[in-house]
Every structure is written in structure tokens, then in C-alpha cells.
Amino acid sequence: MPSKEQLLDIIAIQAEIARLGLDLTATMALVVERTLGLIEADGAAIELADGDEMVYRAGAGIAASQLGLRLKAGESLSGLCVRSGEILHCRDSESDPRVDRDACRAVGLRSMIVVPLRHEGETVGVLKAMSRQPDKFRDVDVRALRLLSEVVGAVMYFAAKYNVDELFYKATHDAMTGLANRAFYIERLRNTLALHRRDKRPASVLMIDMDGLKHLNDSYGHRVGDAAIMEVARRLTACARESDTVARLGGDEFGMIFSPVDLPDGGEMLMHRIEDEIARPLQFEGHSYALSASVGMATLPADGLDVDHLLETADRRMYRVKRQHHGEKGAGGLSSCA
């Protein structure tokens, strides 16, 4: 049996999940975050099967940066867990032949527990707990994770049963704007890199941050701020083609992937078009509000072929533009025009 403290934690987690209903994205995020404290793990992830691959759909701790990561199901412990339907315990990834050792090193884990998310005989994914230390987890931790997985598996099963398409949509899209979420954005960027390696098509990665949203919320209320976020989402979508990706990464931060893009000038033209499109005033409930955004761009292959490096480069350039905007406009940011 799990320890008394672990049982109390699982009951509390179950109550939180019940309040979330069938909100799959929120449930997965909650579970991986709470798994860290439940068994003193350094990382946790939920992976869903997608064809012959396993995809990170939620992550916390050392797995937080791996959202969207795809692993070959036939070469990973997670894939074996789905096929066998059994809990798998890796005591040391450096000596366990069942694991994808390169992926383990990339995440920084040495030991892990992988638990199938099952309901009524169907495996719908895996819950994975990770540690930087070899042989970190004990049998009591395995039993605690089994209990937690039964709760999560039921939520995922019913979400999938009522609407498979909605299951995928909720796991990959922002609830407020309907844009791709951070996990899906990173997954699409990985796919873009894979396509580039095959056909050498250049692409642009953009990071977009609204200027002065806090001022707008504080001065005119969150209804106006939410309207501004929604309007920026619509304008970014209007700038994109069917082959492009538009995402809300959180708060007032957005991301875009343009693929393919004509170099050297195509990316710059797109960036200026986005800035001009967002700069049009927002009309909301009889009032006009000024909008603006800071945009940073990285291109592949010129700026590299690594997901993290491309995102960091675009983000750094975006903040450079934001500092310039503050210098030109002061800290006021968004304001009412009427």
C-alpha cells in the first residue's frame, strides 16, 4: 500500500480532477505537477500514442521543456508500456536496454516509473515519473502511481469516448483563442525541422508579445484585455497561410511558424506585415484602444536547426524590439483612444 501521506495526496488530487470535469488539458497539467510531490520525482510527463510514436502532451519538472517531443514507440519504455499494459520500472537508464538512452540523456533522467493509463481494459496513454538519480523509486512509489493512474485513465477514457476529435483538440489548443497551444507549437516546430532536413525548405519562427496588456487590464478591466488578446489572435491568423502555425504560448505571448518562406526578405516582410496588422486600433463596445506588439524572428537554417536555440533566438530578438518600443513610447503601452 502507498503511505498514509501518499493516500491523502491522491484523494486530494482526485478531488481537484473531479472539479476540472472532462478538461483533459487541465487534468494532465495538474497530474504531472502533483506527481512531483507525490513521490518526490524530479520530472513527470503524460505521453499519448500517435501512430507508431509517443508524444509528450504534458510535462513538469525536468520534463517541462519536452512538450511535443516524439519518441518511437518501438524504441521507448513508454511504447513498451502501452503494448504490454504493465507498469515498468527502470532503475538506471544507462544500463536498461529497453529505454531510448539518447532521449533519457536529453531529458536528464536516470531512473523512472512508467504506468499505463487504462480504463476498462483500454490503454489510453502513460504517466511517467522521472528522477535524476539512479534507482530513486521504491515499490511504495510504484503503488502510489498506480492508484493515481487509475483516476487519470478514467478521465481520459471518457473524454475520448464522448469525442475523440475533442480529446485531441483540447490537448493541443488554447481554450480561449482556439489557437495551437505551446505543446502543439513545439511539436509543429519539430516537424518543420524534420521537413527541412528532408527537402531543405527554409522557415521562419516568430515570437510575438503584446505591448502593455497589463496597463490595459489595470486601466480598463480584464474584459477589454481579453478582447485585445482575442483580436490579436484573429489578426495573426489572418496573416497566416494554411501551411503555417499560429499559437498562443501563454498570457500575451504568441508564436508563429511560417513554412516555407522565401529568403532572405520573405521573413522580414512577414514580420512587418504582422506589426502593421496588429497596430490597427481595437474597436470594442464603442471605444477604440491602441494595440501594438513586439516581434522577434529566427530563421532556419540560418539561425540553426535546434528547437530550443531557435525559440531562444526569436525570443531574445523580440525582447530587443520590446525595449526599443518602451524607449519610444514610455511604459504606457496600450491606451484608450476615445
CA angle 53, 189, 302 (to 5 degrees): 135
Instruction: Report CA-CA distances (Å) from 92 to 116, 271, 303.
Output: 20, 47, 36
pLDDT of residue 161: 61
CA distance 256 to 185: 8
**CB atoms inside a 10 Å sphere around CB 66:** 19
Give the closest residue to 257 by CA, choosing from 179, 324, 323: 179
Q: Identify the residue with better confidence: 90 or 190.
A: 90
DSSP 281: P
Helix 24-38 and helix 164-172, axial crossing angle in degrees, nearest 10: 60
Range among 141-145, 164-168, 262-266 rated most confident: 141-145
Look at residue 165 and tell me whether its pLDDT is greater than 60.
no
Q: Which of 22, 13, 76, 12 is nearest to 48 (CA)?
A: 76
pLDDT of residue 332: 43
Cis upstream peptide for 260 (omega within 30°): yes
pLDDT tens for each residue of 272-331: 899 999 999 999 988 999 999 999 999 999 999 999 999 999 999 999 998 887 776 554
Q: In three state form, how does the secondary structure of 40-59 look? A: CCCEEEEEEEECCEEEEEEE
Q: Compute φ and ψ for 232, nearest 5 degrees.
A: -65, -40
Answer whether residue 126 shows pLDDT above 50. Answer: yes
Contacts of 180 (CB under 8 A, 6+ apart): 172, 173, 174, 188, 245, 246, 247, 248
For residues 307 and 205, what is the distance between their CA atoms, to the nearest angstrom? 10
For residue 20, with 0-12 CB atoms within 10 Å meaning exposed, 13-18 middle and 19 or more buried, which class applies? middle
Specify the pLDDT at position 333: 42
Q: Sorting pLDDT into bands at 50, 70 and 90, what band is 263?
A: low
pLDDT, position 294: 94
pLDDT at 98: 92
Where does the pLDDT of residue 133 fall: very low under 50, low under 70, confident under 90, or very high at 90 and above?
Answer: very high
Q: What is the pTM of this model?
A: 0.56
Helix axes 4-20, 139-162, angle to 10 degrees: 10
Q: What confidence category does residue 97 fall into, taking pLDDT thresholds of 50, 70 and 90?
A: very high
pLDDT, residue 64, reads: 85
- Model confidence pLDDT, tens digit, residues 9-20: 888 887 887 777
pLDDT of residue 227: 93
Residue 276 cell numbers, joined: 502593421
- The predicted pLDDT at position 338 comes to 40
